[in-house]
Amino acid sequence: MNLILSDVSLITGLGFITPIFAIYLTDNIKGATVETVGFAAAVYWIVHSLSMIPVGRYLDKNHGEKDDLWAVILGNFLAAVALFGYIFSKYPWHIYVLQGIYGLGMSMNMAGYTAIFTRHIDKGGEAYEWSVRGAWVGVGTGISGGLGGWFAYNFGYLALFVVSILFVLFSSALPFFIFKEMSPRDKKEPLFPEAKVMIPPAAPKE
C-alpha cells in the first residue's frame, strides 16, 4: 500500500502544476511562447523515452528489488528537483534542462515501480490490483488538477510550487517504509512449483 500511496502522492503533486504549466512559462519565462511550451514537452518525452529502456535493462541485470526501490526514490527526488528549479528559471533553456531532469526521473520511477508492483501482485488479482492503483492515481490527479488553477490564482505560483514539491518529496520518502520488505536477490521460482516436491521413483532392485 505504501508503494501505491507513493505513486499517488507523486502524481498528485505533479498534477497541481500540469494544468497551469504552459501559462506559467509564458507569464514568467523571458521570451517564452507557445513554441517554448511545445519544445519543453518534446524534451521531456524524448529524454523520458530514450532513458527508460537503459534504466530498465540495468535494473533487470542488477538482480534484486532494493535497486528497483532506489530507482523509485531517486526518480521521485529528481522530479522534485525539477519542480524546485522551475521557481528560479528565467530563460527557456533553463526549462529545457529541467525538463530533461524531470524526464529522467520519471523513467527511473516507472522502471522501478512497475518492476516491484508486478512482482508483488497476488496471483489471480492482477487486473484488480492494477485497477486499484489506477483509480487512486486518477482520483489524486483529478483533485490536484482541479485545485491547481484555483490555488495559483488565489495564492500565487510560488505557493503552488511549494505544495507540489512537498507532495513529491513525500512520495520519495514513503518507499523507505517498505525497504526492509524488498528482497536483495531475485526470487526465482520454477515454472511449475509442484516440481519442487516431486520425488523420483526409486530404482528397482535387482
Q: Note the pLDDT tens digit of each residue in 64-111.
A: 778 888 999 999 999 999 999 999 999 999 999 999 999 999 999 998
Domain annotation covers residue 183 = yes
Residue of 90, 103, 89, 83 whose CA lies nearest to 164: 83
Domain containing 95 equals 2-197
Domain annotation covers residue 205 = no
Cell of residue 195, nine digits? 516440481
Query: With 90 as the cut, is the pLDDT of residue 48 above it?
Result: yes
> In this structure, are residues 38 and 46 in contact, taking their beta carbons and an 8 Å threshold?
no
Query: With 90 as the cut, is the pLDDT of residue 45 above it?
Result: yes
**Helix crossing, 34-61 with 92-119: angle to 10°?**
40
**Tens digits of residue pLDDT in 170-179:** 999 988 887 7
Domain annotation covers residue 206 = no
Highest average pLDDT, of 26-40, 62-76, 132-146, comes from: 26-40
Question: To 10 degrees, the CA torsion angle through 153, 155, 159, 164?
Answer: -50
Give the angle subtended at the CA of 85 by the CAs of 179 and 100, to the nearest 5°. Answer: 75
Higher-pLDDT residue of 112 and 183 is 112
For cell 509442484, what's the residue?
194
Residue of 161, 46, 165, 176 whose CA lies nearest to 99: 46
Amino acid letter, residue 93: W
Domain annotation covers residue 202 = no
Looking at residue 39, what is its pLDDT?
A: 95
Looking at residue 182, what is its pLDDT?
A: 65
Q: What is the mean pLDDT of residues 48-55?
A: 93
Contacts of residue 55, Cβ cutoff 8 Å, sequence gap at least 6: 71, 107, 108, 111
Query: With 70 as the cut, is the pLDDT of residue 144 above it?
Result: yes
> In this structure, are residues 16 and 166 in contact, taking their beta carbons and an 8 Å threshold?
no
Q: What is the mean pLDDT of residues 104-125?
A: 82
Q: What is the mean pLDDT of residues 5-16?
A: 89
CATH of residue 140? 1.20.1250.20
Domain annotation covers residue 204 = no
Domain annotation covers residue 71 = yes
Contacts of residue 176, Cβ cutoff 8 Å, sequence gap at least 6: 73
In the chain, % of residues over pLDDT 90: 46
> In this structure, are residues 171 and 10 in contact, taking their beta carbons and an 8 Å threshold?
yes
Domain annotation covers residue 60 = yes
Domain annotation covers residue 158 = yes
What are the C-alpha distances in Å from 86 to residues 22, 30, 125?
Answer: 12, 13, 40
Q: pLDDT-based confidence at 183, cuts 50/70/90?
A: low
- What value does the mean pLDDT of the chain take? 83
Looking at residue 104, what is its pLDDT?
A: 96
The total of structural domains in the chain comes to 1
